[in-house]
Amino acid sequence: MTPPAVLPHVDAVQAALEDGGLTVYLGGVPAAAGWTPPDKYVVLYPEPGQAVRESLADLRTDFTTVFQITCVGGSMERALWAADTARAALSAPLAVEGRATWRPEDLGGPPVQRDDDTNPPSWFVPVQYRLMSIPA
């Protein structure tokens, strides 16, 4: 049996967020000249995850990963709207082909912060989630 892969899990998170009405960027925002960010969006930062033992037989078929969703807005309220919308989008188990997933676990994050390095300034709040799955 092949070990679980992280990319199908990342795709499932991104799809759930987009289905929830969010604009999602993976790993950062576009760096194209003249690009103007939307008024509210999220940036998904996945980690590679970890295949873990399902039993003493050392079969590494269970999977756990943590990902961060940085919620960004043109105001504090818009950043918090993105956080609330992401939380609602991730309130049910995700669809990962061949896997059964737990509902993503909200691990929280720090308070909303203002970013004066953007023009105009923006507000952001990173929120982390844990996702676990087993073979279906």
Chain segment 37-73, per-residue pLDDT in tens: 889 999 999 999 999 877 667 778 899 999 999 999 9
Tokens of 39: 């008024």
Task: Report the range of poorest mean pLDDT among 21-35, 49-63, 75-89.
Answer: 49-63
What integer pLDDT is reported at residue 55 of this predicted model? 67
Q: How many CB atoms neighbour CB 40 within 10 A?
A: 22
CA distances from 126 to 17, 33, 82, 94, 117 (A): 15, 25, 11, 20, 17
Instruction: Give the rounded percent of residues in the chain with a pLDDT score beyond 90.
Output: 77
Instruction: Say if residue 104's pLDDT is above 90.
Output: yes
Instruction: Give the rounded percent of residues in the chain with a pLDDT score beyond 70.
Output: 97
Instruction: Identify which has the larger pLDDT, 89 or 53.
Output: 89
Q: Partners of 70 in the beta sheet? A: 43, 126
d(CA 43, CA 115): 15
d(CA 5, CA 20): 24
What's the pTM? Answer: 0.92
* Nearest alpha carbon to residue 96 among 2, 4, 1, 3: 4
Residue 118's pLDDT band (cuts 50, 70, 90): confident
